[in-house]
Amino acid sequence: MKTAIGDITKASADVIVNAANGIGPMGGGVAYALKKAGGKVIEEEAIEVCRKEDPQEGDVYVTTAGNLNAKYIFHAVTMKQPAQPSSIEIVEKCLHSLLKKAREMGIKSMVMPALATGVGGVSKKAVAESFKKILSGVEDIEITVMDKNGDFIKFLNE
């Protein structure tokens, strides 16, 4: 697991991870930034996939990446409805689901934000501990945790 300070919408990887709700609208935080940079097509597809699959908290669903420099967006469902609080248990389930989906699809590189630490309200320190516990031993997928200001990365490096 690598870390980088920067704008996730400018990242280049097979997959960019979005902290998502389970119904599809991309109205805030990383989701809004990805929609704004990658195009409304991502949100339209997310809403359609959610109608068909009804993803629950901890699940991951896939859309194309629009104009972003990635093959796919993996939407990690950290909350069922927009702006709901999340939990560390949901974040950990999302991390396992992300790895499973990436391996099923033969993904080699993935860039992800600090899941559920914005609107979801989960402590950055707790999420960093879960990232270290679950992602540190992963060798078959190049994982980069991207943070726009470095606040989350400092917890990963503790």
Please name the residue that has the structure tokens 């031993």: 137
Q: Phi then psi for 57, rounded to 5 degrees?
A: -55, 130
Q: How many CB atoms lie within 10 A of CB 21?
A: 27
Whether residue 65 contacts residue 16, with contact meaning beta carbons closer than 8 Å, is answered with yes
Tokens of 53: 């699959």
pLDDT at 14: 98
pLDDT at 116: 96
Share of residues in the chain with pLDDT > 70 (%): 100
Taking the complete model, does pTM exceed 0.85, yes or no? yes
Mean pLDDT computed over 112-118? 96
pLDDT band at 8 (very low <50, low <70, confident <90, very high): very high
pLDDT at 81: 94
Mean pLDDT computed over 18-38? 96
> For domain 2-156, is the CATH number 1.20.140.10?
no
Per-residue pLDDT of 31-67, as tens digits, reads 999 999 999 999 999 999 999 999 999 999 999 999 9
Give me the residues paired with residue 2 across strands: 144
Mean pLDDT computed over 88-108? 98
Mean pLDDT computed over 75-91? 96
Tokens of 38: 């990658």
Average pLDDT of the chain to the nearest whole number: 97
Ordered by start, the domain boundaries in the chain are 2-156
pLDDT at 156: 94
- Cα–Cα–Cα angle for 82, 89, 79, nearest 5°? 10
pLDDT at 75: 98
Beta strands in 6-158 (DSSP E): 12-21, 60-64, 69-79, 109-112, 142-147
